Amino acid sequence: MTGPADDEDVAAWVRGLGRDGLVDIHVHFLPERMLAKVWAYFDAAEQHYGMPWPVHYRLPEADRLAALRGMGVQAFAPLVYPHKPGMAEWLNGWVREFAEREPDAVPTATFFPEPEAARYVEEALRSGVRCVKVHVQVGAFDPRDAHLDAVWGMLADAGVPAVVHCGHGPLRGEHTGLDVFGRVLERHPGLVAVLAHAGMPEYDAAFDLVQRFPRVHLDTTMVGVPFTESFMPVPGDWAARLADVADRVVLGTDFPNIPYDYATQLRAIAGWAEADDRLGESFLRSVLHDTPAKLLAV
């Protein structure tokens, strides 16, 4: 069950688990100019995060797609998110075209608390969007903002998963915190929410939300890899806790903006599977393929 040694090894490893590919719910593709800005931000990571963050897949878009496909990623959610008003609808247009052009990219959308949000999210849902992304720290908005109430309601009714970065890691924001997002869930308990990074570093609060709300999930993005373990380690009983909610964990990676290779994330997940008898290979099939495929309607 030991994970893949390197990216070259990934596709064969996944086939060995009895699945023909991976489904990744947390990947980023962006318009080139915006991606260049994101990479410039990571270049200055020492200033922002106090440590270097060398982006591992700093490649042209075609090569990034080829890297995913070469590892047997059969479907992925390309996530976009705005940092200011007036930007979400433009990003939604870009990502719609991207998903039309790349058949393994699931159509996604994003939003910002602004008067037009309900209208463009409704349009996005009608156009067949199967996942949305919200970044509370980068967007610096309160997810309880009145402009978003109708949006959360629509998403809950549609059963479309919302990948929500609402934790304090790696940076705290004015409105981050799983307690804040918990209020949104109390108002919209049917929301299919995916807590990005498993709520890092508030893992306890994340498990609590998963227990309280039957449609809340955790994504594995950057969780348990050596890079993150150095400053936001998972609790010692991590694998045992996963065993209680095993069907609510989904593969996410933050590809391509990670400071290590894709296989590293898979090795971390394989390590959890190995650490508790209740997990094992069936957990890997569920996390790496079956549950994200169900959420994304792949």
Residues that bind Zn ion (CB under 5 A): 254
Nearer to Zn ion by Cβ, of 77 and 242: the residue is 77
| Closest separation in Å from C-beta 202 to Zn ion | 17
DSSP H helical segments within the chain, as ranges? 10-16, 32-43, 45-49, 61-70, 88-101, 117-126, 136-139, 146-158, 178-187, 203-212, 226-229, 238-244, 262-275, 280-285, 291-295
| Closest separation in Å from C-beta 190 to Zn ion | 24
Nearer to Zn ion by Cβ, of 82 and 243: the residue is 82
Nearest by Cα to 29 from 99, 76, 80: 80
Nearer to Zn ion by Cβ, of 135 and 188: the residue is 135
Nearer to Zn ion by Cβ, of 114 and 254: the residue is 254
Quick count: other Cβ atoms within 10 Å of Cβ 146? 8
Residue 164 phi/psi, 5-degree rounding, is -120, 120
| Closest separation in Å from C-beta 220 to Zn ion | 12
| Closest separation in Å from C-beta 221 to Zn ion | 6
Nearer to Zn ion by Cβ, of 25 and 71: the residue is 25
| Closest separation in Å from C-beta 2 to Zn ion | 26
**In angstroms, how far apart are the furthest CA atoms of the chain?**
50
Query: Hey, which residues does 110 pair with through a beta bridge?
Result: 133
Nearer to Zn ion by Cβ, of 7 and 254: the residue is 254
Residue 81 CA to residue 38 CA, distance in Å, equals 12
Structure tokens, 57: 């897949």
| Closest separation in Å from C-beta 53 to Zn ion | 13
Nearer to Zn ion by Cβ, of 254 and 261: the residue is 254
Pairing of β 162-165 and β 249-250: unpaired
Quick count: other Cβ atoms within 10 Å of Cβ 108? 30
| Closest separation in Å from C-beta 252 to Zn ion | 8
By beta carbon distance, the residue nearest Zn ion is: 254
Nearest by Cα to 69 from 36, 105, 101, 100: 105
Nearer to Zn ion by Cβ, of 24 and 254: the residue is 254
| Closest separation in Å from C-beta 12 to Zn ion | 27
Residue 138 CA to residue 239 CA, distance in Å, equals 30
- The answer to whether 92 and 124 have CB atoms below 8 angstroms apart is yes
